[in-house]
C-alpha cells in the first residue's frame, strides 16, 4: 500500500493524467447515478423530435393541421431535453448516459478478459518454455495477423451482435499485446535469483507463477490495460457505428449511426456522442501515459 | 548468416499463413453458415429442399470427411478460388479484382501524407523539446490519436460538405481513379484516415529522436564540430528511423485496414471494406471471410517487409 | 617546461539545475595547459572531471549550464563565441576522445564515413580526399588493414580498435588540444597500455597538448607533465607532475596516493565518500574526510596558495604539514 501511495504521489505531478482521471471518475459517476435523474433513453415522442440542445435553434419541418402540410418552424432547445432529442424524439442526454454505461462496461469487461487471457498465455509461455512456448507464441502470431476490426466484424457477423457477445469477442481477440508483454517480462524474471530460490525450495509451478512472476509484471499490466480500454471502447463504437452493434442498447456508436443520416437536419445527434467518445478515449490515454511515467524508474531524474 | 535469417523469417511467415488459413477454416466450420443455407435462402419456396441441400453440399464438399474438406479448402485458397459471392453472383476473386484498387488508392495516399507529416512533426517537436510549440503539438497529437476516425469523418462531412458546401462530389467509379474530380472527393477521406496516423507517427518519431539524442555518439558528432542540423539529420534521425520503419510497416496493416474499412463506409468509396460491409448486410459469407483473410495476408506481408527492411537498415543485424 | 600557454581556464563554474536543487558540478576552477604538454586531471568519479572537459567544448547539456568563467584559446574567450564559431573550434582546434568507445561511435555508419566526416566538417575537400586522409588517419592510429576495414561498421571492431577509430576522428584536423576523457577505462588492461602508448606517440609527433582525464594515479605517474587534482567540483592541488607526485601537499592528494598500493602492498583508503554537491559542506569541501581538519576549514573556503611557481594548493595547511 505504501508503494501505491508513492506512485499516486508521482501521478499527482502529471496534470494531464489527473485531468484524465477526473473525467473518468465523472463518467463513472454519471453512468451510475445519471439514470435516476433522467427520462428513459428509449421513450419515443414524435412531437418533440429533432430538438436542438439548449442555446441553439434549428429549422425543422413539421406537419401542421392548419395548413394541411409541412411547415418550417424554428425550434429552440428546452430544459426538458438539455442536449436535444433525436429523430424519434428520444432524449439525447439520457441516451448519452446510457451510452456511457455501455462504453464503460465494454471497456472494463473486454479489457479485463483480454488481460486475464493474455497474462495466462504470456506467463505460461515464458515459464514452461520449449514446445509450449513455441505453440503459444505461434498462436499469438496468428491472432495478431488478423486485423483486429476485421476479425471482430467477421465474428459479430457470424455469431450475432448482442452486447455480451461483442464484449466477449473483443476480449477473446484483444489479448495478444498482453501475452507478448507478460511473456517478455516473465522471461527476464524467470532467471532471477528469487525465482530460482523458491524453485529450489520446492515451490509448485502455480505458486511461482502467481506469487512471484505475475505480481512483478503488474505495473506494466496496469499501464497496458489503461491504454487498451480506449481500444475496446472504440471497437464497440465502430461496430455499432457501421450498424453491427447491439440494437437493444443505446450506445454512443448506435447514436452516431443514427445521427449520420440526420447531419443536415440535426447535427447535434452526430456531434454529442462523438465528443463523449473523444473525451473518454483521450482521458484513458492521458491516464495511461501518466501511469507509465509514474511507474518508470527513470522518471526520477530532473 | 544473412541468408539463413531471411530463410527463417520466410518459414515463419509460411507457418503463420498456414495458421491463418486453418483458423479461417475452423471459424467457418463452427459458424452457423452452411453454403446450402445461403443458396436456399435465395431460392425461395417450391423446391425439394432436402434434394437441393444434398446437391449443394456435395457440390461444396460439405458432406465429405472433415480432413478432406480442410485439404480442399486450403487447396482452393492457394489456387485463387476464394468462393462464390451469392449477392453479386460472381466469384469472390473477381469481386476482389474490381474493388482492391480503390482501397489501395485511399490507403496509399493517406499513408504517404501521414508518413511525410508525421515524421516532420516528430523531428520538429523533438528538436524543440519542452518548448511551447512542443507542448501544443503534443496536445494535438494526443487529440489526433484519441479522436475516433469515424466521428472525425462525419464531422468533416458536417462542416465542409453540409455547412460550408465545399465538398459536394462523391467518389465516382465511372471516372478514372486519378481524375481531378475523384482526387478532390478523396480529400476528406484521406484527412480522416491520415489524422490518427500523423499523430501516432509524430509521437513515435519524437520519442525515438529524443532517445537517440541522449546517445554518446551524438555527443561525439557534436564534438567533431558538425553543424547541429547535420547532427540531427544524420546521426539522430537515421538511428531514430529504424524503429519508425518497423512501426509504420506493422501499422500499415492493422490500424490502416480497420481505419480504411470505416472510412470507405463513411465516404462511399467502393474499396474492399465497403465491399465487405455490403456483403455483411446482404449476408454474403464468402466475401466477408475473403476480406478478413486478405487483411491477414497483407499484415503478414508487411511484417515480413518490416523484418527484411530492418536487416537492411541496421548493419548490426546485417553482418551478424 | 615553460613553453607558451595554449588554453587557459579561468574561474569556470558549471552548475546543473535539477529539480532537487543546484548541483555545483564544477565550482570555480582555473588551470592552464601549455603547448605540447600532457595535463592530467585526476579525481574520483563525480569530482567534475568530465563536466570540465565538456565545458571546454561547450557541450554541457541541459539542465547543466556554464555560469561564469573564461576559457581562452588564442586570445579568444570560447564562452563568448557565436555558436557557429564554436562549431569551428570543436574537432578542429580542440578535439575530444570519450570514455566508452562502444557507444561513442554511431552504429549505423561505417568507421570510414565517421572519420572522413570529421575531416570534411572543417576542411573544404572533396570526398576522395577526405576518404584518403581518413584512411591515413586510421593507419596512423594503428588499425590494421585500414583500407580494407574502411567500410566496416563499429560492431565489427573490438573495444580497443573502436577507441583507435575515435582517436583517429579526434586527430582529423590536427587539433591543438586533445581532451581524452578516461579513454582507456572501458578497455582491457593490456589494451589500456597500448592506448596510452598511442597518446605518447601522438604527442611527440604532432606537438599537441593533451588533457588526459583519469582516476588512475598509476597512469598519471607514467604520462603526466602537469597535474590537476579535482575533488567535488573544485581543484585541490595543481602543479608539475614531479611537484605534485613527489611532494603532495593537499591531504586529499596524499590520500589518493595512499590508495596506490605501496611497496609493502598495503592500501590505505580515504575515509568517507564524496559529498553531495547540492548542499556541499561549508568551508573546505574536503574537510569532512580530512584527518587534519581545523576549525577554519569548516568555515572558510581555502584560497589557492602558491607553494612554488609551478605548484599550487587549496588548503589552509598548505606547506605546514607538507
| pLDDT band, very low/low/confident/very high, at C179 (cuts 50, 70, 90) | very high
Same-domain pairing of B115 and B69: no
Residues B164 and B307 in one domain: yes
Chains that touch A (3 or more CB pairs under 8 A): B, C
| Residues of chain A neighbouring C19 (CB-CB closer than 8 A) | 302
pLDDT at A302: 34
| End residue of a domain, out of B81, B114, B143 | B81
Question: What is the pLDDT at residue C192?
Answer: 84
Instruction: Check if the beta carbon of residue C66 is closer than 8 Å to that of residue C27.
Output: no
Q: Give me the mean pLDDT over the B58-63 stretch.
A: 66
Rounded to two decimals, the ipTM of the complex is 0.86
Instruction: Going residue by residue through chain A, which has 302 residues, state the pLDDT in tens, using 9 for 90 and above.
Output: 566 777 777 777 788 888 999 999 999 998 888 777 777 777 777 667 777 777 677 776 666 666 666 666 777 767 777 777 777 777 888 888 888 999 999 999 999 999 999 999 998 888 888 898 999 999 998 988 888 888 888 888 888 888 999 999 999 988 998 899 888 888 877 777 777 777 777 777 777 777 777 777 788 888 889 989 999 999 999 999 988 888 888 889 888 888 888 877 788 888 889 999 999 999 999 998 888 888 876 554 33
Same domain, B76 and B158: no
B301 interfacial to chain A (CB closer than 8 Å) = no
Residue B189 and residue B253 in one domain: yes
**Does any CB of chain A come closer than 8 Å to the CB of residue B43?**
no
What rounded mean pLDDT belongs to chain B? 82
pLDDT at B117: 94
Task: Say if B201 is an interface residue toward chain A (CB within 8 Å).
Answer: no
Which residue range forms the structural domain that includes residue B130?
93-313
Half-sphere exposure of C161 (CA within 13 A, CB side): 15
Report yes or no: C17 at the B interface, CB cutoff 8 Å.
no
Show which subunits contact B, needing at least 3 CB pairs below 8 angstroms. Answer: A, C
State residue C322's pLDDT score: 39
| Interchain proximity C103–B221, CB inside 8 Å | no
The string of pLDDT tens digits covering residues C103-151 is 899 988 899 999 988 888 888 778 888 888 889 888 888 888 888 899 9
Pairwise CA distance, residues A92 & A83, whole Å: 6
Instruction: Please name the residues in contact with B50: beta carbons below 8 A apart, sequence gap of 6 or more.
Output: none
Confidence of residue C321 (pLDDT cuts 50, 70, 90): very low
Task: Please tell me which chains touch C, using 3 or more CB pairs under 8 Å as the contact test.
Answer: A, B
The answer to whether position B50 is within a domain reads yes
B65/B111 same-domain check: no
* Full residue range of the structural domain in which residue C49 is found: 5-93+225-314
Whether C55 shows a pLDDT value over 90: the answer reads yes
- Contact list in B for residue C92 (CB cut-off 8 A) is 225
**Residue C267 pLDDT exceeds 70:** no
Which CA distances in Å does B210 have to B57, B227, B241?
61, 18, 12
Q: What is the pLDDT of residue B45?
A: 57
Domain assignment present for residue C320? The answer is no
Return the DSSP state at B240: H
- For C64, the closest chain A residue by CA position comes to A302
Residues on chain A touching B19 (C-beta within 8 angstroms)? 138-139, 141-142, 145
Say yes or no: B71 and B165 in one domain.
no
Residue C17 placed within a domain: yes
In a domain, C275, yes or no: yes
- Predicted confidence (pLDDT) per residue in A21-37, tens digit: 999 999 999 888 877 77
Cα diameter, chain B: 88
Determine the distance from the C-alpha atom of residue A187 to the mean position of all C-alpha atoms in its chain, rounded to a whole number. 30
Residues B143 and B262 placed together within one structural domain of the fold: yes
User: Is B20 part of any domain?
Assistant: no
Q: What's the grid cell of residue C43?
A: 579525481
> What pLDDT was estimated at residue A278?
94
Contact list in A for residue C63 (CB cut-off 8 A) is 302
Cell of C250: 593537499
Q: How far apart are CA A117 and CA A249, in angstroms?
A: 27
For residue B87, tell me if it sits in a domain: no
What chain A residue is nearest to C16 in terms of C-alpha separation? Answer: A302
C295 beta partners? none
**Residue B73 in domain:** yes
Kind plus residue range of the DSSP H or E element containing B196: helix B187-213
Task: Tell me: do B72 and B166 sit in the same domain.
Answer: no
Contacts of C18 in chain A (CB under 8 A): 301-302
Same domain, B270 and B188: yes
Q: Does B23 touch chain A (CB under 8 A)?
A: yes
Contact B227/C at CB under 8 A: yes
**Residue B24, SS3 per DSSP:** helix
C154 found inside a domain: no
- Report whether pLDDT(B260) > 60: yes
My answer on whether B209 and B273 are in the same domain is: yes
Q: Is the pLDDT of residue C30 over 60?
A: yes
The helix/strand/coil state of A21 is helix
For residue C270 the three cell numbers come to 580515504
Classify residue B18: in a domain, yes or no. no
- How many domains in chain B? 2
- pLDDT(B116) > 70: yes
Which of A58, A137, A157, A274 to probe the B interface (max B CBs under 10 A)?
A157
Q: What's the longest Cα–Cα distance across chain C?
A: 66
Report the C-alpha gap between C240 and C10 in whole angstroms. Answer: 18
| Domain identity same for B39 and B168 | no
Specify whether the backbone of C268 is left (phi greater than 0), alpha (psi in -120 to 50) or beta: beta
> Which chain C residue lies closest to B217 (C-alpha atoms)?
C104
What's residue C40's pLDDT?
93
Asked whether residue B8 is domain-assigned, the answer is: no
Cell numbers of B86, please? 451469392
| Count of domains observed in chain C | 1
Q: Find the CB nearest B216 among C95, C100, C121.
A: C100
The Cα A167–Cα A229 span in angstroms is 12
Residue A15 Cα, gap to closest chain C Cα (Å): 17
Tell how strand A69-76 and strand B84-85 pair up.
unpaired
pLDDT over 50 (residue B178): yes
Q: Is the pLDDT of residue B197 over 70?
A: yes
Q: Is B235 on the interface with C (CB under 8 A)?
A: yes
Mean pLDDT, residues C278-302 taken together = 82
Euclidean distance between the first and final Cα of chain A, in Å?
26
**Is the pLDDT assigned to residue B206 strictly greater than 70?**
yes
In the A/C pair of chains, how many CB contacts fall below 8 A?
A: 4
Look-up of cell digits 499490466: A221
CA distance B63 to chain C (A): 59
Please give the Cα distance from A175 to A160 (Å, whole number).
Answer: 21
Domains of chain A: 35-50+85-282 (1.10.3720.10)
Give the CATH number of the domain where residue C87 resides: 3.40.50.300
Q: Cβ C98–B219 below 8 Å, yes or no?
A: yes
For B71-97, what is the mean pLDDT? 83
DSSP label of C301: P
Residue A175: its H or E element:
none
Q: Which residues contact B192 (CB under 8 A, 6 or more apart)?
A: B149, B152, B153, B156, B259, B263, B266, B267
* Max CA distance (Å), chain A: 92
pLDDT score recorded for residue A108: 93
Q: What is the pLDDT of residue A300?
A: 45
B152 and B229 part of one domain: yes
- What average pLDDT does chain C have? 85
Q: What is the DSSP letter of C14?
A: E
Domain presence at residue B72:
yes
CATH number of the CATH domain containing B179: 1.10.3720.10
Q: Which helix (H) or strand (E) holds A58?
A: strand A57-64
How many other C-beta atoms lie within 10 A of the C-beta of residue B246? Answer: 17
Amino acid at each position: 500500500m505504501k508503494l501505491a501511495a508513492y506512485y499516486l504521489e508521482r501521478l499527482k505531478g502529471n496534470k494531464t493524467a489527473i485531468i484524465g482521471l477526473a473525467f473518468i471518475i465523472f463518467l463513472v459517476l454519471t453512468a451510475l447515478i445519471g439514470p435516476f435523474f433522467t427520462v428513459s433513453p428509449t421513450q419515443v415522442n414524435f412531437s418533440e423530435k429533432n430538438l436542438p440542445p439548449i442555446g441553439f435553434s434549428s429549422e425543422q419541418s413539421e406537419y401542421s393541421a392548419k395548413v394541411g402540410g409541412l411547415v418550417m418552424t424554428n425550434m429552440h432547445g428546452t430544459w426538458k431535453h438539455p442536449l436535444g432529442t433525436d429523430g424519434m424524439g428520444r432524449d439525447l442526454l439520457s441516451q448519452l448516459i446510457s451510452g456511457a454505461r455501455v462504453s464503460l462496461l465494454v471497456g472494463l469487461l473486454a479489457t479485463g478478459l483480454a488481460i486475464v487471457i493474455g497474462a495466462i498465455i504470456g506467463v505460461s509461455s515464458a515459464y514452461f518454455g520449449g514446445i509450449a512456448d513455441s505453440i503459444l507464441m505461434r498462436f499469438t502470431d496468428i491472432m495478431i495477423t488478423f486485423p483486429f476490426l476485421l476479425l471482430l466484424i467477421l465474428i459479430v457477423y457470424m455469431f450475432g451482435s448482442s452486447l455480451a457477445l461483442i464484449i466477449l469477442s473483443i476480449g477473446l481477440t484483444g489479448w495478444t499485446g498482453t501475452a507478448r508483454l507478460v511473456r517478455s517480462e516473465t522471461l527476464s524474471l524467470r532467471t532471477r535469483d528469487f525465482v530460482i530460490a523458491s524453485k529450489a525450495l520446492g515451490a509448485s509451478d502455480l505458486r511461482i507463477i502467481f506469487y512471484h512472476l505475475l505480481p512483478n509484471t503488474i505495473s506494466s499490466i496496469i499501464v497496458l490495460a489503461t491504454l487498451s480500454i480506449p481500444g475496446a471502447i472504440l471497437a464497440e463504437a465502430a461496430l455499432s457505428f457501421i450498424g453491427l452493434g447491439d440494437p437493444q442498447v443505446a450506445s454512443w456508436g448506435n447514436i452516431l449511426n443514427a445521427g449520420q443520416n440526420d447531419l443536415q437536419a440535426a447535427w447535434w445527434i452526430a456531434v454529442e456522442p462523438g465528443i463523449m467518445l473523444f473525451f473518454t478515449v483521450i482521458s484513458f490515454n492521458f491516464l495511461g501515459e501518466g501511469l507509465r511515467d509514474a511507474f518508470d524508474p527513470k522518471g526520477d531524474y530532473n | 548468416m544473412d541468408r539463413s535469417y531471411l530463410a527463417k523469417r520466410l518459414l515463419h511467415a509460411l507457418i503463420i499463413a498456414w495458421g491463418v488459413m486453418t483458423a479461417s477454416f475452423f471459424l467457418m466450420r463452427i459458424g452457423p453458415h452452411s453454403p446450402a443455407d445461403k443458396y436456399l435462402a435465395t431460392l425461395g419456396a417450391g423446391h425439394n429442399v432436402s434434394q437441393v441441400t444434398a446437391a449443394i453440399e456435395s457440390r461444396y464438399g460439405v458432406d465429405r470427411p472433415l480432413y478432406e474438406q480442410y485439404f480442399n479448402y486450403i487447396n482452393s485458397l492457394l489456387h485463387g478460388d476464394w468462393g462464390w459471392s451469392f449477392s453479386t453472383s460472381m466469384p469472390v476473386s473477381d469481386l476482389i479484382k474490381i474493388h482492391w484498387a480503390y482501397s489501395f488508392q485511399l490507403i496509399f495516399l493517406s499513408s504517404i501524407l501521414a508518413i511525410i507529416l508525421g515524421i516532420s512533426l516528430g523531428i520538429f517537436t523533438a528538436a524543440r523539446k519542452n518548448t511551447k510549440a512542443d507542448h501544443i503539438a503534443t496536445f494535438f497529437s494526443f487529440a489526433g490519436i484519441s479522436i475516433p476516425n469515424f466521428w472525425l469523418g462525419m464531422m468533416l462531412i458536417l462542416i465542409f460538405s453540409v455547412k460550408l458546401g465545399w465538398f459536394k462530389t462523391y467518389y465516382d467509379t465511372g471516372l478514372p481513379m486519378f481524375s481531378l474530380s475523384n482526387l478532390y472527393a478523396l480529400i476528406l477521406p484521406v484527412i480522416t484516415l491520415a489524422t490518427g496516423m500523423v499523430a501516432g507517427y509524430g509521437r513515435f518519431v519524437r520519442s525515438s529522436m529524443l532517445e537517440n539524442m541522449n546517445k554518446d555518439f551524438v555527443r561525439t558528432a557534436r564534438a567533431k564540430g558538425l553543424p547541429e542540423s547535420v547532427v540531427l539529420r544524420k546521426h539522430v534521425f537515421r538511428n531514430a528511423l529504424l524503429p519508425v520503419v518497423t512501426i509504420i510497416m506493422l501499422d500499415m496493416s492493422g490500424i490502416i485496414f480497420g481505419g480504411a474499412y470505416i472510412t470507405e463506409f463513411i465516404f462511399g468509396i467502393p474499396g474492399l471494406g465497403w465491399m465487405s460491409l455490403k456483403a455483411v448486410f446482404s449476408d454474403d459469407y464468402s466475401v466477408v471471410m475473403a476480406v478478413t483473410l486478405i487483411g491477414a495476408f497483407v499484415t503478414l506481408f508487411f511484417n515480413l517487409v518490416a523484418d527484411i527492411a530492418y536487416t537492411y537498415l541496421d548493419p548490426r543485424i546485417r553482418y551478424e | 617546461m615553460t613553453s607558451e600557454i595554449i588554453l587557459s581556464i579561468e574561474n569556470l563554474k558549471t552548475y546543473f539545475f535539477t529539480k532537487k536543487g543546484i548541483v555545483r558540478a564544477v565550482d570555480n576552477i582555473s588551470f592552464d595547459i601549455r603547448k605540447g604538454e600532457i595535463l592530467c586531471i585526476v579525481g574520483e568519479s563525480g569530482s567534475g572531471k568530465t563536466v570540465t572537459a565538456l565545458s571546454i567544448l561547450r557541450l554541457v547539456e541541459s539542465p547543466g549550464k556554464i555560469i561564469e568563467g573564461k576559457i581562452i584559446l588564442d586570445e579568444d574567450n570560447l564562452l563568448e563565441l557565436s555558436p557557429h564559431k564554436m562549431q569551428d573550434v570543436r574537432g578542429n582546434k580542440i578535439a575530444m576522445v570519450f570514455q566508452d568507445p562502444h557507444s561513442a561511435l554511431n552504429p549505423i555508419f561505417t568507421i570510414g564515413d565517421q572519420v572522413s566526416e570529421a575531416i570534411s566538417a572543417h576542411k573544404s575537400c572533396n570526398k576522395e580526399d577526405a576518404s584518403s586522409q581518413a584512411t591515413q588517419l586510421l593507419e596512423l592510429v594503428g588499425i590494421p588493414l585500414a583500407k580494407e576495414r574502411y567500410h566496416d561498421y563499429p560492431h565489427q571492431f573490438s573495444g580497443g580498435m573502436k577507441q583507435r577509430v575515435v582517436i583517429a576522428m579526434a586527430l582529423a584536423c590536427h587539433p591543438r588540444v586533445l581532451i581524452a576523457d578516461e579513454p582507456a577505462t572501458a578497455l582491457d588492461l593490456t589494451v589500456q597500455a597500448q592506448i596510452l602508448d598511442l597518446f605518447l606517440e601522438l604527442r611527440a609527433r604532432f606537438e599537441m597538448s593533451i588533457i588526459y582525464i583519469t582516476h588512475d594515479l598509476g597512469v598519471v605517474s607514467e604520462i603526466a607533465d602537469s597535474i590537476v587534482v579535482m575533488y567535488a567540483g573544485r581543484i585541490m592541488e595543481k602543479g608539475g607532475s614531479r611537484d605534485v607526485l613527489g611532494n603532495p601537499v593537499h591531504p586529499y592528494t596524499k590520500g589518493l596516493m595512499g590508495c596506490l598500493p605501496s611497496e609493502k602492498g598495503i592500501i590505505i583508503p580515504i575515509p568517507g565518500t564524496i559529498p553531495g554537491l547540492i548542499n556541499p559542506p561549508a568551508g573546505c569541501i574536503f574537510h569532512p574526510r580530512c584527518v587534519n581538519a581545523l576549525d577554519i576549514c569548516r568555515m572558510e573556503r581555502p584560497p589557492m596558495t602558491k607553494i612554488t611557481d609551478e605548484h599550487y594548493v587549496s588548503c589552509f595547511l598548505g606547506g605546514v604539514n607538507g
